[in-house]
Structure 1
Amino acid sequence: MEEKHKRILRRNRVHLVKELDLSDLCDVLLRKDVFTQSMINDIKNCETKRDQARKLVKDLETRGNEAFSAFLEGLRVTGQQNLLELLQKSAPRVHFQPGKSTEAGYLLIQPHPVYIEDAVPKKPRTQPSPPPDEVFKGPEVRPRRDSIQYYKMDARPCGLCLIINNVEFEPKTELSIRKGSNVDCDKLEKRFKSLNFVVEVRTNLKQRQIKSELSALSRKDHSIYDCCVVVILSHGTEVRHNKIRSAGSWIEIDQVSHNRFPGAVYGVDGNHVSVQEITNYLNGQNCPSLQSKPKIFFIQACGGGEKDIGFEVSPDEAKPSIGGDGDQTDAIPFSSSSESLSTSDETDAIPTLPTPSDILVSYSTFPGYVSWRATVSGSWYVEVLDNILEEHAATLDLTTMLTLVNDKVSQNSAKGLYKQMPGSFNFLRKHVYFQTSE
């Protein structure tokens, strides 16, 4: 299916999920070879009518260039005129001709050429049809495949979500209280509960306690779930893989190379846990019941001590920024944070790490830089992430929503000067669509 047709389906997904009547529509789409019988069975096996409609709309995007027009035809012949008109408002208009009746009583409809209304001026009916170069034909239809490009996300509950919220650090660490972090924690706890996750919150954990909670999470049986989410709110730093020579052999000081997931988060005792180690607890080797399922990590912590002052843009690109004098950072600067991060890429450490398939790590800031947090409203990153999930989780996939988060946070400004750029390390193989209550 073409991207513009996918956007139309996503834009109207809430209405489609609420109002779509699948009783006869599935049979029409089956006869038109849009879906196979096994795909129809998968749709009908979903627990609720809304889940069935949501899966049909998602799967429709994978079914070739004729699927959209066939879907419109299906809406027409099954009497779902309101949805048909809703989609046609922003879609190329499809004109139908009466056709012969099928054995089931439905019309065999032959569509006329499809015209892009935005590209072709409206003309009186007496004028001839547009010239051939204005007729939308689309690329050649590719062979259809039964493989779905979305992770299964219809288990109830969808999965477990662990939130680690470190606010008050031991005096010996000289780490400041993270004012506003409880606001972040409350927001994300409510958000992931609304997305049908079982949420557990742990507060003020030491390094060994962080590891213990992650280890316990990895030992749980996730076979009844479709996803797992870990959120860590803490001070952070940039760490490196260092080695010293002793008695003719190399001894590693930091045991984990960060060639895949840089950075680390602090326990309240001042000892850090690397992001690489955090993700390893849930990879396919250490947590078999999460194999081939999305494992998503959200890290609200600094990636280092550098502050980004941004760069000048043209007036057309400039947007109002927010942020004030009360903004704080979650930075614990690494002593050599100004050095290139690429020096941590130790080739002899790569073979010892499992492949991090089906993992996405979303960082609040670019590796090596500070992450800003307002003492009253919480961190920039979590506030924007929560708003984007609330507004778009029903219609957009996770990676698209994180791009919107990146854009929104990048427009903020701390003390009128400093900027922040979130980002992700994405090893997912498919799209992730969260469950919503629409």
Structure 2
Amino acid sequence: MDIRRNKMDPRYKEILRQKRRDLVLSLDPSDVYDGLLSRGIFTDDMIDEIKTSGPRRAQVRQLVRDLETRGSRAFTAFLECLRETGQDTLAELLERGDSAPVPLPVLLPVQPSLIPLPVPWNPVDFKKPERGDAPEKLIPLKPKTLPIVSPGSVDEIGIPRSPRLRSDSIQSYKMDARPCGVCLIINNVEFDAGSELKNRTGSDIDSEKLERRFRSLSFHVIAKRNLKCKHIRHELSTLAKMDHSVYDCCVVVILSHGTEASHNRFPGAVHGVDGPSVPVQIITNYLNGQNCPTLQGKPKLFFIQACGGGDTDTGFEVSPDEVQQTSLRLDEQTDAIPTSSSSDSLSLSDEPDARATLPTPSDILVSYSTFPGYVSWRDTNTGSWYVETLDRILENNAATDDLATMLIMVNNEVSQISAKGLYKQMPGSFNFLRKLFYFQVFKA
């Protein structure tokens, strides 16, 4: 059946035209391509044509124009795609048809200036100055310290909050809240038979290690096990809707099978236990500055223990001085399924928008257990190479080193390990943080 047989309702066309500017400013079209394709709204050729129409804003304009020609279901399908990819604000804007809400900026308390004021001359207390006498010294009045008002004493998940002063600096993020923030851990171990994915023996060890580690770093940890694809999205949406006003950061850890996925910022995707996957780019979108205003300007950290593809790495020969002595891993499994994605998935190109705000992906760091396109190894008895090493580095170095430095340590140690004496693994990260990040290690 021709999808265009029933034309789009004129009201929907008018909404798309009225809100085109908001869509051009905020929408990342690559997030909705797959959804519109799977719903039969667009064809592969149409999406290719949109992609080649120019930079991001040009693609959005072309996408909106094409939507108006794709029949009565196109508008509703577009709203569904926006909600599935965590862009609820845009979906609600189109549903209401009114102006887009402007996110409130995160304001830092302003320290009062000390302004010297003259003390009025009183003839009763002082002798009137004669000509030629030295002028009276001006006595500065010390202003009172302005109180910092906390949004609340207890948050929605029952964690006590205490008022505190911000200690942001150009060099490092503020990290003195207790708890520092929420840490969501999604641990997929047992996969449905129809998914053709093996169970991930040893992943519970990873989850338990990271639960203990992030609690010790003063995070409120929420651990979820064996989530289907739609439930992964639900947990991320719930996390994004929480009030993070008095927290300093947010952490998401995902332990699952993985694969490659098309993207323009963050590669890879993680599978639900039912088989379908969620792209890492969409996972990060839930917590970006647009979709989670209370985390604006604050670091959002993602740790992904999953394969980035199906390739195995046998490494290359180096001199003995370059290799540290490490144990041989014999009982290993990978967290990958075969993939047919092209090497184009490694592209990081994106159009920078000139706006009076922080860029949408700012303050985000995604740490991957393996290089995009390659498998990630997991020991069935001790857990994954990546998590085991990350946990140890955090234990030994969190009090002294910043996160980027510690991740380089993780990269180096994991690169020295061999599976079955042959296969290698190389972790890495996509770092869009604007400052150094130090975990706050509180003394007991």
Task: Give CA deviations for 1:282-311 in whole Å, capped at 9, x if unaligned.
Answer: 000000000000000000000000001001
Structural mapping, 1:198-347, within 5 Å: 198-240=220-262, 258-336=263-341, 339-342=343-346
Structural mapping, 1:122-271, within 5 Å: 147-240=169-262, 258-271=263-276
Residue identity opposite 2:234 in structure 1: S
Please name the residue that 2:361 is paired with. 356
Structural mapping, 1:1-80, within 5 Å: none
Residue identity opposite 1:157 in structure 2: P
Structure 2 SS opposite 1:154: coil
Contact 2:261 2:341 in 1 (8 A): no
CA distance in 2, matches of 1:435, 1:346: 34
CA distance in 1, matches of 2:419, 2:352: 38
Note closer, same or farther for the CA distance 1:216–1:365 as it changes in structure 2 (3 Å cut): same
Residue identity opposite 1:217 in structure 2: L
Note closer, same or farther for the CA distance 1:336–1:288 as it changes in structure 2 (3 Å cut): closer
387, 404, 409: which one pairs with 1:404?
Answer: 409
Matched, 1:376 2:371: no
Structure 1 SS opposite 2:221: strand
Task: Give CA deviations for 1:204-229 in whole Å, capped at 9, x if unaligned.
Answer: 00000000000000000000100100
Structure 1 SS opposite 2:233: helix
Structure 1 residue 318, shift from structure 2 partner: 2.1
Structure 2 SS opposite 1:316: helix
CA distance in 2, matches of 1:212, 1:278: 11
Please name the residue that 1:254 is paired with. none
Structure 2 SS opposite 1:369: coil
Structure 1 residue 349, shift from structure 2 partner: 12
CA distance in 1, matches of 2:404, 2:349: 29
CA distance in 1, matches of 2:328, 2:207: 20
CA distance in 1, matches of 2:288, 2:345: 24
Residue identity opposite 2:174 in structure 1: K
Residue identity opposite 2:327 in structure 1: I
CA distance in 1, matches of 2:327, 2:182: 34
Task: Give CA deviations for 1:309-329 in whole Å, capped at 9, x if unaligned.
Answer: 001101211222334221000
Q: How many corresponding residue pairs?
A: 279
Task: Give CA deviations for 1:100-152 in whole Å, capped at 9, x if unaligned.
Answer: xxxxxxxxxxxxxxxxxxxxxxxxxxxxxxxxxxxxxxxxxxxxxx9431100
Note closer, same or farther for the CA distance 1:222–1:336 as it changes in structure 2 (3 Å cut): closer
CA distance in 2, matches of 1:322, 1:297: 28
Contact 2:329 2:417 in 1 (8 A): no
Residue identity opposite 2:388 in structure 1: E
TM-score (norm 1): 0.60
Structure 1 residue 437, shift from structure 2 partner: 3.2
Task: Give CA deviations for 1:354-409 in whole Å, capped at 9, x if unaligned.
Answer: 62000000000000000000000000000000000000000011111001000000
Structure 1 residue 274, shift from structure 2 partner: 0.2
TM-score (norm 2): 0.60
Contact 1:301 1:371 in 2 (8 A): yes
Residue identity opposite 2:177 in structure 1: A
Note closer, same or farther for the CA distance 1:346–1:390 as it changes in structure 2 (3 Å cut): closer
CA distance in 2, matches of 1:413, 1:273: 29
Structure 2 SS opposite 1:313: coil
Structure 1 residue 347, shift from structure 2 partner: 6.4
Contact 1:239 1:334 in 2 (8 A): no
Residue identity opposite 1:212 in structure 2: H
Please name the residue that 1:23 is paired with. none
Deviates more, 1:315-324 or 1:218-227: 315-324
Contact 1:233 1:300 in 2 (8 A): yes
Residue identity opposite 2:345 in structure 1: L
Structure 1 SS opposite 2:408: helix
Note closer, same or farther for the CA distance 1:278–1:387 as it changes in structure 2 (3 Å cut): same
Contact 1:305 1:334 in 2 (8 A): yes
CA distance in 1, matches of 2:316, 2:169: 44
Note closer, same or farther for the CA distance 1:197–1:170 as it changes in structure 2 (3 Å cut): same
Contact 2:265 2:349 in 1 (8 A): no
CA distance in 1, matches of 2:267, 2:203: 22
Structure 1 residue 350, shift from structure 2 partner: 9.5
Structure 1 SS opposite 2:283: helix
CA distance in 1, matches of 2:433, 2:243: 21
Task: Give CA deviations for 1:22-51 in whole Å, capped at 9, x if unaligned.
Answer: xxxxxxxxxxxxxxxxxxx99xxxxxxxxx
Runs of 4+ in 1 over 3 A off after TM superposition: 339-342, 344-351
User: Which consecutive unaligned segments of at least 5 residues does structure 1 have?
Assistant: 1-40, 43-54, 60-145, 241-257
Matched, 1:393 2:415: no
Contact 1:322 1:414 in 2 (8 A): no
Residue identity opposite 1:168 in structure 2: E
Note closer, same or farther for the CA distance 1:350–1:311 as it changes in structure 2 (3 Å cut): farther
Q: Percent of pairs identical after alignment? A: 68
CA distance in 1, matches of 2:350, 2:170: 35
